[in-house]
Amino acid sequence: MGETAARPLRADAERSVRAVLEAAERVLAEDPGASMEQIAAAAGVARTTIHRRFANRQALIEALASSAARQLVQAVEDGRPDTAPPLVAMHRITANVLQVKSAWAFALEQSADAGGEAAALHEAIARRCVAVLERARADKLIDEAADLDWVRRVYYALIGESLRDAAAGADPDALAARIIDTLLRGAAPRA
């Protein structure tokens, strides 16, 4: 019986943490210097709730960055990087990542602390990206001599440049198609 009573508390605590993180993203995106009190007000929770869950502002920002990184991992996995044809996987992953990056821009702009959860997740995402690029190379979509780490960095830059359009409401699928086309074909004339 004690376990049943504890579950709703855990769910309530999880909901309040999620509300705090979502509010922190909104508030800090608008005002990076916003206080914990401003974030609590935006989340609709007491200031003590935030301080009970997060030791300080930096701990809140680290939790925000980790939460956003976990969502990026899920966006990549939802693109079926290991099983979908490489071109399909690249398109799905790109569209998914654009949506997450648009929704969590502040959190994902934060430098991940070396050795922290967010940094480890970003490293795992980079490895997954290179693995998809290796599959694309095996399908002759990428030159066999291409430096895949460089291709990954260019891909990330294209996503970064497209975020302005995503924030303006552009269709993530259309942006993904443009990113993948630019990555694989560049700006060369089309036949």
In which domain, by residue range, is 11 found? 1-54
What secondary structure letter does DSSP report for 150? H
Q: Based on the fold, state whether residues 131 and 74 are members of the same structural domain.
A: yes
pLDDT tens figures, 16-55: 788 899 999 999 999 999 999 999 999 998 888 888 889 8
Long-range contact pairs involving 42-48 (C-beta distance under 8 Å, separation at least 24):
43/16, 43/19, 44/19, 45/16, 45/19, 45/20
Q: pTM of the prediction?
A: 0.84
- What integer pLDDT is reported at residue 39 of this predicted model? 93
Q: Based on the fold, state whether residues 37 and 108 are members of the same structural domain.
A: no
CA distance 54 to 48: 10
Q: Based on the fold, state whether residues 99 and 185 are members of the same structural domain.
A: yes
- What integer pLDDT is reported at residue 4 of this predicted model? 42
- What integer pLDDT is reported at residue 88 of this predicted model? 97
Longest dimension (CA), the chain: 70
Distances (CA, A) of 182 to 18, 161, 188, 191: 36, 12, 9, 15
What secondary structure letter does DSSP report for 29? H
- What integer pLDDT is reported at residue 46 of this predicted model? 86
CA distance 21 to 53: 11
Contact in structure between 103 and 21 (CB atoms under 8 Å):
no
- What integer pLDDT is reported at residue 113 of this predicted model? 76
Structure-model confidence comparison of residues 184 and 110, the more confident one: 184
pLDDT tens figures, 159-177: 999 988 887 788 999 999 9
Sign of CA dihedral 35, 111, 133, 188: positive
- What integer pLDDT is reported at residue 187 of this predicted model? 84
Contact in structure between 89 and 72 (CB atoms under 8 Å):
no
pLDDT tens figures, 61-73: 999 999 999 999 9
Q: Based on the fold, state whether residues 70 and 143 are members of the same structural domain.
A: yes
Reference 97, options 179, 17, 187; nearest CA is 179
- Domain total of the chain: 2
Q: Based on the fold, state whether residues 173 and 128 are members of the same structural domain.
A: yes
- What integer pLDDT is reported at residue 111 of this predicted model? 73
Q: What DSSP string runs through 92-130?
A: HHHHHHHHHHHHTHHHHHSPPPTTSHHHHHHHHHHHHHH
- The CATH number of residue 13's host domain is 1.10.10
- What integer pLDDT is reported at residue 9 of this predicted model? 46
Whether pLDDT at 2 is above 70: no
pLDDT tens figures, 75-117: 999 999 999 999 999 999 999 999 999 999 899 888 777 788 9
3-state SS, residue 187: coil
Q: Based on the fold, state whether residues 68 and 39 are members of the same structural domain.
A: no
- Neighbouring CB atoms inside 10 A of 81's CB total 18
Return the structure tokens found at 79. Answer: 């693109």
Q: Based on the fold, state whether residues 169 and 97 are members of the same structural domain.
A: yes
The letter for the amino acid at 73 is V
